[in-house]
Amino acid sequence: MASPVLEAEIATAASPEKVWSIVSDLPRMSEWSPRTRKTFVLGGQVREGALAFNINRKGMLYWPTRTRVVAIEPHERIAFKVLENNSVWSFTLQAEDGGTRIVQRREAPNGTSAVSRAMVKVFLGGNDDFEADLVAGMNTTLERIKAEAEK
Protein backbone atom coordinates (compact mmCIF):
# COMPACT_ATOMS: atom_id res chain seq x y z
CA MET A 1 0.00 0.00 0.00
CA ALA A 2 1.47 3.35 -1.06
CA SER A 3 2.18 5.95 1.58
CA PRO A 4 1.26 9.57 0.90
CA VAL A 5 3.96 11.84 -0.46
CA LEU A 6 5.10 14.19 2.29
CA GLU A 7 6.50 17.51 1.15
CA ALA A 8 7.65 20.88 2.41
CA GLU A 9 9.19 23.80 0.56
CA ILE A 10 10.80 27.15 1.19
CA ALA A 11 12.29 29.98 -0.87
CA THR A 12 15.72 31.42 -0.14
CA ALA A 13 17.71 34.31 -1.56
CA ALA A 14 20.74 32.01 -1.86
CA SER A 15 21.89 30.57 -5.17
CA PRO A 16 21.28 26.90 -6.10
CA GLU A 17 25.05 26.37 -5.87
CA LYS A 18 25.13 27.62 -2.28
CA VAL A 19 22.08 25.55 -1.28
CA TRP A 20 23.52 22.50 -3.05
CA SER A 21 26.70 22.74 -0.97
CA ILE A 22 24.49 22.37 2.12
CA VAL A 23 21.95 19.72 1.12
CA SER A 24 24.56 17.47 -0.50
CA ASP A 25 26.77 17.50 2.61
CA LEU A 26 25.00 14.54 4.25
CA PRO A 27 27.40 14.27 7.24
CA ARG A 28 26.16 17.74 8.30
CA MET A 29 22.46 16.73 8.15
CA SER A 30 22.28 16.70 11.95
CA GLU A 31 22.77 20.48 11.85
CA TRP A 32 19.54 20.88 9.88
CA SER A 33 17.25 17.94 10.68
CA PRO A 34 15.65 17.74 14.12
CA ARG A 35 15.57 13.90 13.88
CA THR A 36 19.09 13.20 12.59
CA ARG A 37 21.76 13.02 15.28
CA LYS A 38 24.68 11.73 13.20
CA THR A 39 25.37 10.61 9.62
CA PHE A 40 28.42 8.66 8.47
CA VAL A 41 28.98 8.18 4.74
CA LEU A 42 30.87 4.96 4.01
CA GLY A 43 34.04 5.95 2.18
CA GLY A 44 33.38 9.61 2.98
CA GLN A 45 32.26 10.57 -0.54
CA VAL A 46 28.63 11.52 -1.21
CA ARG A 47 27.95 10.06 -4.65
CA GLU A 48 25.25 7.98 -6.30
CA GLY A 49 25.32 4.52 -4.73
CA ALA A 50 27.03 5.70 -1.53
CA LEU A 51 25.87 4.07 1.69
CA ALA A 52 25.32 6.13 4.83
CA PHE A 53 24.63 5.13 8.41
CA ASN A 54 22.42 7.44 10.47
CA ILE A 55 21.46 7.79 14.11
CA ASN A 56 17.98 9.28 14.54
CA ARG A 57 16.19 10.53 17.64
CA LYS A 58 12.74 11.45 18.87
CA GLY A 59 12.59 12.28 22.55
CA MET A 60 14.33 9.47 24.44
CA LEU A 61 14.07 7.04 21.51
CA TYR A 62 17.12 6.53 19.27
CA TRP A 63 17.27 4.28 16.21
CA PRO A 64 19.76 3.57 13.40
CA THR A 65 19.01 3.64 9.69
CA ARG A 66 20.98 2.94 6.56
CA THR A 67 20.50 5.05 3.46
CA ARG A 68 21.74 4.68 -0.09
CA VAL A 69 22.13 7.72 -2.36
CA VAL A 70 19.92 6.93 -5.35
CA ALA A 71 20.16 10.18 -7.33
CA ILE A 72 22.52 13.11 -7.63
CA GLU A 73 22.00 15.91 -10.11
CA PRO A 74 24.41 18.65 -8.97
CA HIS A 75 22.71 21.92 -8.05
CA GLU A 76 19.29 20.34 -8.74
CA ARG A 77 18.49 17.16 -6.78
CA ILE A 78 19.79 14.64 -4.29
CA ALA A 79 17.78 11.61 -3.15
CA PHE A 80 18.48 8.78 -0.76
CA LYS A 81 16.54 5.62 0.08
CA VAL A 82 16.09 4.47 3.67
CA LEU A 83 16.85 0.77 3.40
CA GLU A 84 14.90 -0.22 6.52
CA ASN A 85 11.57 1.17 5.34
CA ASN A 86 11.84 1.70 1.55
CA SER A 87 11.11 5.44 1.71
CA VAL A 88 12.98 7.85 -0.56
CA TRP A 89 13.89 11.29 0.77
CA SER A 90 14.97 14.07 -1.57
CA PHE A 91 15.89 17.71 -1.87
CA THR A 92 15.07 19.40 -5.17
CA LEU A 93 16.43 22.87 -5.96
CA GLN A 94 14.79 25.23 -8.44
CA ALA A 95 16.37 28.56 -9.37
CA GLU A 96 13.84 31.38 -9.14
CA ASP A 97 13.86 35.16 -8.73
CA GLY A 98 17.60 35.34 -8.03
CA GLY A 99 17.35 32.65 -5.35
CA THR A 100 16.29 29.05 -4.91
CA ARG A 101 13.12 27.17 -4.07
CA ILE A 102 14.01 24.13 -1.96
CA VAL A 103 11.59 21.20 -1.89
CA GLN A 104 12.07 18.36 0.57
CA ARG A 105 10.02 15.25 -0.11
CA ARG A 106 9.46 11.79 1.35
CA GLU A 107 8.00 9.19 -1.00
CA ALA A 108 7.10 5.56 -0.39
CA PRO A 109 5.18 4.51 -3.50
CA ASN A 110 5.22 0.86 -2.45
CA GLY A 111 4.51 1.66 1.19
CA THR A 112 6.91 1.23 4.06
CA SER A 113 8.06 -2.10 5.45
CA ALA A 114 5.91 -4.09 7.88
CA VAL A 115 8.61 -3.73 10.55
CA SER A 116 8.70 0.03 10.06
CA ARG A 117 4.90 0.31 10.27
CA ALA A 118 4.91 -1.73 13.50
CA MET A 119 7.67 0.42 15.04
CA VAL A 120 5.82 3.61 14.11
CA LYS A 121 2.62 2.26 15.64
CA VAL A 122 4.20 1.09 18.89
CA PHE A 123 6.94 3.66 19.51
CA LEU A 124 6.22 6.79 17.45
CA GLY A 125 2.55 7.56 18.05
CA GLY A 126 0.98 5.85 15.04
CA ASN A 127 1.20 6.67 11.36
CA ASP A 128 -0.88 9.88 11.27
CA ASP A 129 1.01 11.47 14.17
CA PHE A 130 4.34 10.26 12.81
CA GLU A 131 3.72 11.69 9.34
CA ALA A 132 2.59 15.02 10.80
CA ASP A 133 5.79 15.03 12.85
CA LEU A 134 7.85 14.27 9.74
CA VAL A 135 6.35 17.25 7.90
CA ALA A 136 6.99 19.52 10.90
CA GLY A 137 10.58 18.26 10.92
CA MET A 138 10.91 18.92 7.19
CA ASN A 139 9.79 22.51 7.73
CA THR A 140 12.35 22.93 10.53
CA THR A 141 15.04 21.41 8.34
CA LEU A 142 14.25 23.82 5.50
CA GLU A 143 14.24 26.84 7.81
CA ARG A 144 17.68 25.85 9.10
CA ILE A 145 19.04 25.25 5.59
CA LYS A 146 17.71 28.66 4.49
CA ALA A 147 19.34 30.38 7.47
CA GLU A 148 22.68 28.69 6.73
CA ALA A 149 22.48 29.48 3.01
CA GLU A 150 21.72 33.15 3.62
CA LYS A 151 24.65 33.74 6.01
Query: How much is the pLDDT for 53?
Result: 97
Q: pLDDT tens, 36-57?
A: 999 999 999 999 999 999 999 9
DSSP per residue, 112-151: --HHHHHHHHHHSS-HHHHHHHHHHHHHHHHHHHHHHHT-
pLDDT by residue (tens digit) across 52-79?
Answer: 999 999 889 899 999 999 999 999 999 9
pLDDT at 111 over 80: no
Tell me what percent of the residues of the chain surpass a pLDDT of 70: 99
CA nearest 18: which of 100, 103, 78? 100
The DSSP-derived string for 46-113 is --TT-EEEEEEEETTEEEEEEEEEEEEETTTEEEEEETTT--EEEEEEEEETTEEEEEEEEEETT---
- Per domain, the residue ranges of the chain are 3-150
Q: Is residue 109 very low, low, confident or very high in pLDDT (cuts 50, 70, 90)? A: confident
CATH code for the part of the protein at 3-150: 3.30.530.20
